[in-house]
Amino acid sequence: MTEPLRIGVAGLGTVGASLVRLLAQNGNALAHRCGRPVRVVAVSARDKSRDRGIDLSGIEWFDDPVAMAKSANVECVVELMGGADGKAKDTVEAALAAGKSVVTANKALLAKHGNALAALAETTGAQLNFEAAVAGGIPAIKTMRESLAGNRVERVAGILNGTCNYILSRMELEGLPFEAVLADAQRLGYAEADPTFDVGGFDTAHKLAILASLAFGTAIDADAVYVEGIASIAPLDLRMADELGYRIKLLGVAERTATGIEQRVHPTMVPKTSAIAQVMGVTNAVSILAEPVGELTLVGPGAGGNATASSVLSDIGDIARGTRLPAYGVAARDLEATEQAPMQRHEGGYYIRLSVLDRPGAAASIATRMAERQISLESIVQRKPPQATGQKASGPVPVVLITYATTEAAIRDALDAVMADGHIAEPPQLIRIER
């Protein structure tokens, strides 16, 4: 009988516990498909006494995951602890240095150290797999690295954070402010007590950096990603987007341009008719534009124990089969330095919301500032300011401008001039449009 693949699991949180449970339930089917049994022989976590609802009898316990990674009884290490440094990094490095393959769901680790870890794996003959690090249960990594190996990827974009998509979906459907929906998301467990990593766009940026490496054969450079979060989005912006035929999504976008590779994360207005606009709630989506295949959109659960564990199982199955591929599709030494396109050179349409003071000449001044930068306006929408019943409207007037394609530099310069003129009551709201 073929010897089993002996794995050690570092981290028994939601995903780790789900993985152990699924292997116990579906181990025979996995062995049949891979031609080799898979057995959990060791685990490591912070609290041995915690009840995780899984049977750990007969499985060796390690208080130290690095010691587990070095154990002669472990052939493959599954790292599910999280974090860019510390024990997670030490455990993965120890395993790879010993020639043991690693499966990880740790996007922060890969975004910071992925290039060096891939090189280490190739040096020792180990495999580094990370399907679960991006978009949970969606097979985005395999699609990019394997299924599209014969294609030239021009653009990859996605809804890569379920927390943000849940918040924006509820704000749109229920007309609620950001703070109220965030509080609900925290209560339901969709958002952390400190939600900055998610709602600030940084989680999406880490995932986008990984996808960009696979798409363009470049070294991972998370610092090169332009990042904006969703905290500034107001219910009025979502209502206006709806009226204009759009939805607002937090997108991660990486694409080839004439000036280099653009990598950006920000709230984006997408046409309601597009596939990505239909993705609501905690669901994720990845859209890939490649030649010759065209555009592909993958949609599915982006988080959760079973969904993420499913992707981990897929990677384990590849190792059990003996499938060997460079972590990022090409050898680590052949990954090119990122030729970063400055965000100021980004070209596209823009949604601009201004709180305009009700005074003569204000509108004409704004239009003049736009014209001076050769910014053409597709539409101008003015809304009455809030007012009490029976009272005359007062206060700043919300004015929404939709521009034709222009540059980020031109828009920023025009808005600086508008603010300097003193005709608006607060900083402008600016949202990029993807058509």
Catalytic one among 48, 207, 249, 392?
Answer: 207
Separation CA 351–CA 326 (nearest Å): 41
**3-state DSSP of the chain:** CCCCEEEEEECCCHHHHHHHHHHHHHHHHHHHHHCCCEEEEEEECCCCCCCCCCCCCCCEEECCHHHHHHCCCCCEEEECCCCCCHHHHHHHHHHHHCCCEEEECCHHHHHHHHHHHHHHHHHHCCCEECHHHCCCCCCHHHHHHHHCCCCEEEEEEEECCHHHHHHHHHHHHHCCCHHHHHHHHHHHCCCCCCCHHHHCCHHHHHHHHHHHHHHHCECCCHHHCEECCCCCCCHHHHHHHHHCCEEEEEEEEEEEECCEEEEEEEEEEEECCCCHHHCCCCEEEEEEEEECCEEEEEEEECCCHHHHHHHHHHHHHHHHHCCCCCCCCCCHHHCECCCECCHHHCEEEEEEEEEECCCCCHHHHHHHHHHHCCCCEEEEEECCCCCCCCCCCCCCEEEEEEECCEEHHHHHHHHHHHHHHCCECCCCEEEEECC
207 is catalytic: yes
Residue type, 266: H
Q: Which residues are registered as beta bridge partners of 270?
A: 247
403 by Cβ neighbours in 10 Å (0-12 / 13-18 / 19+) ranks as: buried
C-alpha–C-alpha distance, residues 270 and 435, integer Å: 6
Catalytic sites, residue numbers: 207
